[in-house]
């Protein structure tokens, strides 16, 4: 019954995807009737022979349709609930549809800006290997010696619970006889004749057994052996990565691994995901009431799901010890990178650990090594559920830094939809949707979409598409800047002709409306000013062919004028992928040669061909 309720909640709620995606349809559906209609009218203005009255009427109609389209867009933005099913059933064009992915709005040293798609693939692969090995070689399931020791610990802890302060000699002897039947431990014999000594000896036995268990959980266990035999670890060994610690949850279940490379000056902490959805739903009571959240955790006090916090606390000590040992031995003058990875439940743990390292561990242990204060701490998670309230999500992201937490999610994966704890829980960091294909794989079980193998297969391509398209937009902005310089050149030229204006119009039409809309405010104002100058310098108001092209350019300015500007930084480097016509124009401007007006020489590339 619980699973049915969970499935229903995940499918019916928009909490995983949120209202931030409501622009998706409008921004990517270039074949919508409104946009097709506006585009057709624009072509008519260019191609038809119109007198001034007809042209004015046409422009008024076009402006009316544009306003109507904007009104419909605003209405669509007010309701994003349909996007759950849209993401699920439609093979959508995922990248570049939100300003939150704007490459230039992130710091130059942020993870989003500096990481390469190949590194994303490597980290996803490492996380997948850790998850698979933890399932196949879990000590709690496969290591007979470890399990026997754990069984003994459980037995003696149970005996200790039976020992009360007031026990008769007969009751004490009964407990000793029970122990003798189990394994005849020499610490328990007839000489133990009082409660105090019985408790003391039982605690000593339990302590000895736990020490034995720690030895069995050494770096030579089956988990590490399998990890070292994996292909991905072979690739990591070329960078001289070594296993420095392993993590456990629930005392015996393998939870993750810590690696370090002096050569790369990098520490990697990997959290394995839960073995199955039912495992961690059962263990965490994930869909319980808001009472499942612990309050006043972290700076300023925010809520974290109790189950996540409990597991985090259990694994905190070995991580702190590893980092403290690392800091004490650290002799490099360059601050290191610490990157924390995780899948599913491990993804939530990885984000929380990233925050704790940045806000608590490093400040506490860097008094003797100030270099470590500037250590970069990053997080990448795959298919993680929400575990913190909206206030906590904001605090975590601000502390770790914008663009330093990347979260991969799959629209067909139920886990990111699940609320752990409070109803206002929220995801943390910049989210990258997987470029999944429902139409080809509709037959696969729901759990397949949550597998780490799937995230590994699709993460590189998905990240590449999101970031590269936004970088491409930056290059297009640079192209338009060059075009604006050409416009300014024309206003200063004494021989501005219709041919050059036509050439200019073709260059502007090379760019999509969306690209022009996102041109920064200063450049749009400059374009408008130059168009007005060209109009003032026109040869004759009666030249309708010339007037027609001027009006079309004015319409383009009108269309982009009302859109919020996109901030453009100056550190993007030289533009790439420029249309041939712009490259030629730039070369001519730099060489001060005469500009050619031969239309055949101006080859205009479409956006799809860039």
Task: Show the tokens assigned to 487.
Answer: 């416009």
What is the CATH code for 125-140+224-450?
3.40.50.1820
Backbone dihedral angles phi then psi of residue 163, each to the nearest 5 degrees: -80, 115
- Domain segments of the chain: what residues? 125-140+224-450, 144-216, 465-610
* Residues 534 and 490 sit within 8 Å (Cβ to Cβ): yes
What is the residue whose two structure tokens read 């007006």? Answer: 597
* Residues 517 and 560 sit within 8 Å (Cβ to Cβ): yes
Strand order in the sheet with 425-426: 293-297, 302-305, 388-389, 425-426
- DSSP letters of 81-123? TTHHHHHHHS----TT-SGGG-GGGS-TTSHHHH--HHHHHHH
**Per residue, what are the HEC states of 234-300?**
HHHHCCCEEEEEEEEECCCEEEEEEEEECCCCEEEEEECCCCCHHHHHHHHCCCCCHHHEEEEECCC
* C-alpha span between 297 and 304 (Å, rounded): 7
Exposed e or buried b per residue across 548-565, where buried means at least 16 C-beta atoms within 10 angstroms of its C-beta? bbbbbbbbbbebbeebee
* Residues 253 and 137 sit within 8 Å (Cβ to Cβ): no
80: Cβ–Cβ under 8 A, 6 or more apart, which residues?
14, 17, 18, 19, 21, 22
* C-alpha span between 335 and 517 (Å, rounded): 41
Residue 424 CA to chain centroid, in angstroms? 20
Question: Residues in the chain with pLDDT < 70?
Answer: 1-52, 55, 62-63, 65-99, 134-146, 165, 190, 214-223, 231, 234, 237-238, 249-253, 275-300, 419-424, 436-447, 470-610
* C-alpha span between 71 and 56 (Å, rounded): 23
| 297 to 152, 392, 396, 517: CA distances (angstroms) | 36, 9, 11, 43
- The tens digit of pLDDT for each residue in 426-456 reads 889 998 988 765 444 544 555 577 888 888 8
Helix, strand or coil, per DSSP, at residue 27: helix
Partners of 259 in beta bridges: 243, 268
What is the residue whose two structure tokens read 């309720």? Answer: 5
Exposed e or buried b per residue across 368-398, where buried means at least 16 C-beta atoms within 10 angstroms of its C-beta? ebeebeebbbbbbbbbbbbbbbebbbebbbe
Please name the helix (run of DSSP H) or strand (run of DSSP E) that holds residue 376, with its range, or none.
strand 376-382
- The tens digit of pLDDT for each residue in 311-352 reads 788 778 888 888 888 888 777 788 889 999 999 888 999 999
- Which residue, among 383, 413, 352, 385, has the nearest Cα to 286 in the 3D structure? 385
pLDDT attached to residue 188: 77
* Residues 137 and 226 sit within 8 Å (Cβ to Cβ): yes
* Residues 336 and 244 sit within 8 Å (Cβ to Cβ): no
The C-alpha R_g of the chain, in whole angstroms, comes to 32
* C-alpha span between 120 and 117 (Å, rounded): 5
Tally of helices (H runs) and strands (E runs) in the chain: 24, 11
Helix, strand or coil, per DSSP, at residue 342: strand
pTM over 0.75: no
Q: Nearest 5 degrees, angle CA 417-CA 420-CA 316?
A: 120
* Residues 553 and 531 sit within 8 Å (Cβ to Cβ): yes
* Residues 411 and 371 sit within 8 Å (Cβ to Cβ): no
- DSSP letters of 179-229? HHHHT--TTSSTT--SHHHHHHHHHHHHHHHHHHHHHHTSTTSHHHHHHHH
Alpha carbons within 13 angstroms on the beta-carbon side of residue 207 total 7
Partners of 19 in beta bridges: none
What is the residue whose two structure tokens read 């980092």? Answer: 323
* C-alpha span between 554 and 527 (Å, rounded): 9
331: Cβ–Cβ under 8 A, 6 or more apart, which residues?
none
* C-alpha span between 533 and 251 (Å, rounded): 76
């Amino acid at each position: 019954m619980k699973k049915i309720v969970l499935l229903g909640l995940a499918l019916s709620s928009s909490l995983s995807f949120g209202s931030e995606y409501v622009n998706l349809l409008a921004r990517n559906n270039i074949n919508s009737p409104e946009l097709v209609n506006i585009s057709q009218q624009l072509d008519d203005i260019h191609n038809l022979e119109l007198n001034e009255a007809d042209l004015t009427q046409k422009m008024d109609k076009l402006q009316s349709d544009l306003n109507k389209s904007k009104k419909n867009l605003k209405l669509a933005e007010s309701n994003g609930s349909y996007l759950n099913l849209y993401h699920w059933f439609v093979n959508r064009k995922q990248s570049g549809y939100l300003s939150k992915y704007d490459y230039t709005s992130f710091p130059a040293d942020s993870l989003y800006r500096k990481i390469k798609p190949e590194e994303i693939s490597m980290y996803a692969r490492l996380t997948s290997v850790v998850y698979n090995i933890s399932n196949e070689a879990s000590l709690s399931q496969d290591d007979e010696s470890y399990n026997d020791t754990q069984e003994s610990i459980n037995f003696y802890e149970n005996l200790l619970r039976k020992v009360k302060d007031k026990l008769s000699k007969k009751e004490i002897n009964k407990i000793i006889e029970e122990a003798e039947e189990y394994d005849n431990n020499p610490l328990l014999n007839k000489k133990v004749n009082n409660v105090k000594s019985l408790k003391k000896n039982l605690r000593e036995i339990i302590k000895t057994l736990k020490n034995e268990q720690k030895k069995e959980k050494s770096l030579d266990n089956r988990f590490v052996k399998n990890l070292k035999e994996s292909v991905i670890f072979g690739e990591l060994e070329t960078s001289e990565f070594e296993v420095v610690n392993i993590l456990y949850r629930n005392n015996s279940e393998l939870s993750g691994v810590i690696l370090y490379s002096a050569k790369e000056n990098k520490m990697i902490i990997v959290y394995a995901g839960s073995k199955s959805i039912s495992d961690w739903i059962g263990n965490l009571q994930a869909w319980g009431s808001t009472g499942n959240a612990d309050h006043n955790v972290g700076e300023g006090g925010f809520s974290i799901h109790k189950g996540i916090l409990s597991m985090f606390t259990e694994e905190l000590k070995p991580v702190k010890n590893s980092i403290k040992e690392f800091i004490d031995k650290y002799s490099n003058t360059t601050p290191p990178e610490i990157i924390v990875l995780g899948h599913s439940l491990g993804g939530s743990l990885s984000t929380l650990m990233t925050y704790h390292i940045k806000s608590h561990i490093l400040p506490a242990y860097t008094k003797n090594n100030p270099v470590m204060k500037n250590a970069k701490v990053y997080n990448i998670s795959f298919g993680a559920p929400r575990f913190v309230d909206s206030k906590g999500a904001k605090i975590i992201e601000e502390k770790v830094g914008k663009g330093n937490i990347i979260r991969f999610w799959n629209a067909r994966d139920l886990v990111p939809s699940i609320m752990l704890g409070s109803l206002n829980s929220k995801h943390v960091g910049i989210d990258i949707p997987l470029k999944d294909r429902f139409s080809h794989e509709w037959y696969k079980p729901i759990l397949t979409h949550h597998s780490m193998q799937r995230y590994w297969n699709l993460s590189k391509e998905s990240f590449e598409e999101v970031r590269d398209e936004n970088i491409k937009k930056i290059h297009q902005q640079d192209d338009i800047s060059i075009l604006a310089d050409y416009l300014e050149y024309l206003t200063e030229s004494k021989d501005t002709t219709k041919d050059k204006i036509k050439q200019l119009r073709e260059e502007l039409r090379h760019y999509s409306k969306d690209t022009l809309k996102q041109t920064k405010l200063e450049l749009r104002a400059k374009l408008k000013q130059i168009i007005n100058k060209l109009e003032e310098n026109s040869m004759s108001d009666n030249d309708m062919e010339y007037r027609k092209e001027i009006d079309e350019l004015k319409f383009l300015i009108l269309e982009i004028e009302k859109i919020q500007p996109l901030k453009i930084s100056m550190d993007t480097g030289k533009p790439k992928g420029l249309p041939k016509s712009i490259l030629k124009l730039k070369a001519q401007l730099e060489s001060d040669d005469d500009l050619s007006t031969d239309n055949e020489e101006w080859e205009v590339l479409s956006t799809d061909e860039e």
